[in-house]
Amino acid sequence: MTKYKSFLKIEKTVSLPVAVETNAVLVSWKESLFILTNSIAKRETFVFKMSDSFTFEKIKTLPILSTSAYIFEGQIIVSGSDNDGKAIIVAINFSGEILQKVPLEITPSIWPMVGGTDKIYVAWQEKADEIKRGILNFNNSEIEQIQQIPVENPPAKLIAVPKTLFAIISEKNKTIVIDLITNEQHFLNISQSITVGQANEDIYFGWAENDRVCLKFQHSDEKYCVASKNANIGKLQAVSRNEATLWLQKQEMDIDGNYQWKSAITQKDVEDFEIDNFIHTVGAWNGMLVAVQESKIIFLKKQTI
């Protein structure tokens, strides 16, 4: 059941061509939405393209398990693991043709994430006490200009937004957010685990505290909090789009004593919009939020109050 509260409504629900097994990645480009879903048994990634008529087209089956993807100069850059479980980056065009394959000589504990606008930046973690980032050169199939970022209090976290990559590093009673492209650092007096998103050109941070979901913008001291039951035990993720949006996934006990997956999507100054059942990822496309469940995609649109 989906509870209609506040600012969202279901615009459309579409069945997936194949069920999501473990991971789904969403990438939007103009009028097209690309959906990447993994098949663990075959160690493959199915790549589908959806048009604004909500119809699917299968464009490729990649011989990798994908972990992240983004659009760079008319290509989909996909990071993941190959059939031997080794890290790899693959570039395909919008028709599914494989343009480049670059095996990475690394053994990651946090799998590589890709991002950037003028160059392809790659960030990953091998050792607990450092994060690495470099620039992918397709001409020689190497990662160049590798930089090490120390992590004093593992674990760290990597987050990709439309224009950059962030490393989240926790220290006692504070959090450091590092832009891995510009090297700019933000120090936050927040001890809770945080997430980072981009709303148009603004960067914002989200976290859970005292059964509330909170957010603040990078260049503002003001924070906005919304009550959300069991927020402290959930997983929080920012959704980069035109408005700062947070997605919280958690488990709650029903009247029979069984635990059920619940998701809450919120923005500042609104109540949660709640969705039942497990969600693999939430993204944005054509002014809508896109929630991917095991066998369907839910398209959410802002209601006119």
Q: Dump the DSSP string for the chain.
A: -EE--TTEEEEEEEE-SS--SS-EEEEEETTEEEEEEEETTTTEEEEEEE-TT--EEEEEEESSEEEEEEEETTEEEEEEE-TTS-EEEEEE-TT--EEEEEE-----SEEEEEE-SSS-EEEEESSTTEEEEEEEETTTTEEEEEEEEE-SSS--EEEEETTEEEEEEEETTEEEEEETTT--EEEE---S-EEEEEETTEEEEEEEETTEEEEEETT---EEEEE-TTGGGSEEEEE-BSS-EEEEEEEEE-TTS-EEEEEEEE-TTS--EEEES--SEEEEETTEEEEE-SSEEEEEEE---
3-state secondary structure 142-207: EEEEEEEEECCCCCCEEEEECCEEEEEEEECCEEEEEECCCCCEEEECCCCCEEEEEECCEEEEEE
Q: How confident is the model at residue 256 (pLDDT cuts 50, 70, 90)?
A: confident
* Residue 152 scores a pLDDT above 80: yes
Task: Compute CA distances 20 → 61, 88, 224, 229, 233, whole Å.
Answer: 14, 21, 34, 27, 24
Q: How confident is the model at residue 6 (pLDDT cuts 50, 70, 90)?
A: low
What CA–CA distance (Å, rounded) separates 79 from 67? 6
What CA–CA distance (Å, rounded) separates 239 from 199? 9
What CA–CA distance (Å, rounded) separates 156 from 161? 17
CA angle 161, 162, 168 (to 5 degrees): 15
What CA–CA distance (Å, rounded) separates 89 from 288? 29
What's the mean pLDDT in 169-185?
91
What local confidence, expressed as pLDDT, does residue 144 receive? Answer: 94
What CA–CA distance (Å, rounded) separates 103 from 88? 4
* Residue 42 scores a pLDDT above 90: no
What CA–CA distance (Å, rounded) separates 38 from 24? 7
What local confidence, expressed as pLDDT, does residue 2 receive? Answer: 45
Per the prediction, the chain carries an average pLDDT of: 92
Distance of CA 167 to the CA centre of its chain: 13
What local confidence, expressed as pLDDT, does residue 3 receive? Answer: 45
What's the mean pLDDT in 41-58?
93
Percentage of the chain beyond pLDDT 90 is 77
Q: Which of 28-32, 255-259, 289-293 has the lowest mean pLDDT?
A: 255-259
* Residue 238 scores a pLDDT above 90: yes
* Residue 5 scores a pLDDT above 70: no
Q: How confident is the model at residue 73 (pLDDT cuts 50, 70, 90)?
A: very high
Domains parsed from the chain with CATH numbers: 2-302 (2.130.10.10)
Residue with tokens 């043709």: 97
Percentage of the chain beyond pLDDT 70 is 97
What local confidence, expressed as pLDDT, does residue 1 receive? Answer: 43
Task: Compute CA distances 305 → 160, 184, 246, 302, whole Å.
Answer: 32, 39, 20, 9
